[in-house]
Structure formats: C-alpha cells, structure tokens
Structure 1
Amino acid sequence: MLRTAILDAMRELLLQRDWSKITLTDVAAGAGVSRQTLYNEFGSRGGLAEAYAIRLADDLVDHVETALAANIGDAQASIRKGLASYFRDSAQDPLVQSLLLGEVKLDLLRLITLDAGPLIAHATERLSTVVQRSWIALTPAQALTFAHALVRLAISYIPTPPPADHDAPAELGRVFSPYVAAVLAERELR
C-alpha cells in the first residue's frame, strides 16, 4: 500500500511537470510521507524511478494476461491485442512522455536500456507464470523463452516507438504466434 501510494503520487506529479523538475521531497509530500520513508522504501531517486518502471512492466503483463483470457485459442489475437493496449497505455504514461519529450533524461533512458535487467527479470518472471497458467499452458522452459523475448521486445518499443503507420502489435503477434502454434501442435502429437 505504501509503495502504491508513493508511486501514485509520483504519477500525479508527472502529470503536472517533467521528471527533471520533481524532487523526492515533492513525491514525499504528495504521498503524505516523510522523505526518509522514501529513502527507506526506494533507496534513491533512481530506485523510485525503477519501481515506477517495474509497475509499467507489470502493466505489460496485465494487458497480455487480459488478452489471453479474452482470446482463448487465438495466440495471434492475444498477443496483438495485449501489446496494442500496453503500447497505447504506456505512450500516455507521464513518465514515458517525460522520457520522450524535452531534454534527454539519461537516468530514465538507462532504466529501460543499459540498466533494464531488474525490469526485464521481473516482467519475464510474471509473464512466464501467466502463460503457464493460461490456455496456452506452456511448460516452464517454453514460458520463459516466450516471456523473455516478448518482454525485451515490448520494452524496446518504449524509447523508440514505431511510426504511426506501423502496426507493431500485429507484427509481434505474427512473430510470436507460430511459436505458440508449434508448442500446441507438439503437445497434440504426444
């Protein structure tokens, strides 16, 4: 609850001003906690940004999970719809907008590129569990392969969104659905 309140306060501040203009004192005041509580919970400004980015990665997993449940038997539609809603929502997120607009924010850019290990690991683990429990029912090894590749690609679209005339979710659906189809076909042969 505390982390959620702090991250929500950060989001509200990002709706008002750029990441570079927000201090930990601002976030603490917005969340109704002390600055020391922020340091205890996140360690630093970078830790706060990382926690926020992990929440965005959780959104990716949530979107794919919802799409899988709504498109049983259709991997291509599941992936396409899950990624389409994730890309739409992440493009509107104020931290992502702060990253893409105005002056370069190397700390944010590093979070989703050079220092993306924790973000990728977290989202991969969650998505792997989702696809194991979904109608696809991948094995742990298959789920890890699928989730790791999908997460890495989805996150790479954040700092470099595709052109408006390029349907990245449909393209990724076409790339990943044959993997799912092959796994399902192999399972039927057993």
Structure 2
Amino acid sequence: MSGDRRPGEGTGVRERLMDAAYAEVLAGDWGERRMVDIAATARVSRQTLYNVFGSKEGLLQAVVVREVNTLLDTVMGVLDSDGDDPAHAVSRTTRMVLLAARDNPLLRAVVTGDDQLLPVVTTRSAPLLDALRERISLTLRERCPDVAPDTTEAVADVALRLIVSYALQPMDPDQAAQRVEMVVHGMLPVDR
C-alpha cells in the first residue's frame, strides 16, 4: 500500500511531505503542482519525495489514507462505547464517514475537486479501500467472533463499497446509514 512506511524513511520527512501535499489539495492547486514544488515546501529533495512515495499519486493516496485513518480513529472511539450490534456499528460508521466526506476539507476536495484527485477514491482507490476494509473487517471480527472470517471480510467489502458509492453520489447520511445497516443485517448470520 502506498501509505505504508518504507524502510529507512524518517517519520518527520514523511509527515512534512504529506502536510505539504494536504495544503496543495486544499488550496485547489494539486493539478498544477509539480513534485519539486511539494518537495521544496517540505524542505526535502525531489528525489527524497520519490523515494518515500514513488509518485505524485502515491503521495496523494498516502495523504487521503492518513486523513481517513484519523477519521476512523474517531469513529472507533465512538463505536467502542456502542453496543455489540455489528450492523448498527457499521451503520454509525457509514453515517460518520458520509458526514466527514461532506464536511472534511480534504475529503470534500477529493470528491468534488479537480480530475486528478477523484481517481484516489474511484479507479485507483486500492490503498484507500484496503485501509478502510481492514478497519471495518477488524471491527466486525471483534463484534462477531463466531462468524467465519470470510463472511466478515465479505460484509466489510460490501459495506465499504456502499459507503464509497454514497460518498460519491451523496444522499442523506442517515438514510444511507439505514440502508447499509439493512444490508449488513442480511449478510451476518447473528441473532438480531
């Protein structure tokens, strides 16, 4: 995954590069920015930027994954205080993610910004989807220890694809969350 740390890479450099890229996305300048400009803002060489992220798209993916992981940390904190109903947990996650997609400046810019940003959540979204799927699947496994891992993986995958679809074609977050909850209830072989 592009968001993973590579051997020998300093966390400070990585964070500075992602912070510089984050600022460019929010400024609406992502399409015009060159890697050398982002590297200069982060006070590193262009080669260091390429060594850390591989490409401009890899950098953008890492920034989006970082932002979504921060959001999911918040979501998991809320869910930890929730009951044991996994479908309801996924529903609450859906609602919070959809609200963030609408309200978070970076996520909103990616969904509504220039054409170079959108592929990170559509056609070239593997790093983002992998990170989200892993977090949702882990939550389901913790809440449904008796359910087969392939079932929790399938539920996580379907729920994630619905969440992304609703983020790209927005509708009322509460209504979308209810629909995702219905699907998850139908897929999980647990007492309701």
TM-score under structure 2 normalisation?
A: 0.75
Matched, 1:119 2:125: no
Instruction: Output the CA distance in 1 between the equivalents of 2:170 and 2:51.
Output: 34
Deviations 1:103-130 (A, max 9, x none): x50x322232222234323332333233
1:93 — aligned with what?
A: 104
Matched, 1:72 2:83: yes
Contact kept? 2:86, 2:143, Cα under 8 Å: no
One-letter code aligned to 2:69: D
Aligned residues: 180
Instruction: Output the CA distance in 1 between the equivalents of 2:82 and 2:23.
Output: 33
Instruction: Output the CA distance in 1 between the equivalents of 2:61 and 2:80.
Output: 29
Q: Once the 2 structures are TM-superposed, how far is the Cα of residue 13 of structure 1 from its aligned partner? A: 2.9
1:12 — aligned with what?
A: 23
Give the structure with the larger helix fraction.
Answer: 1
**What are the ranges of 5 or more consecutive residues in structure 2 without an aligned counterpart?**
1-10
Root-mean-square deviation (Å): 2.9
Contact kept? 1:128, 1:143, Cα under 8 Å: yes
State the percentage of identical aligned residues.
Answer: 28
* Compared CA separation, residues 11 and 23, structure 1 to 2 (3 A): same
Deviations 1:56-86 (A, max 9, x none): 4435644553343121223343222222221
Contact kept? 2:26, 2:109, Cα under 8 Å: no
Instruction: Output the CA distance in 1 between the equivalents of 2:140 and 2:173.
Output: 30
- Give the counterpart of 2:170 among 161, 173, 182: 161
1:43 — aligned with what?
A: 54
Matched, 1:170 2:181: no
Contact kept? 2:21, 2:60, Cα under 8 Å: no
For 2:191, what is the secondary structure of its paired residue?
helix
Contact kept? 2:64, 2:107, Cα under 8 Å: no
**What are the ranges of 5 or more consecutive residues in structure 1 without an aligned counterpart?**
none
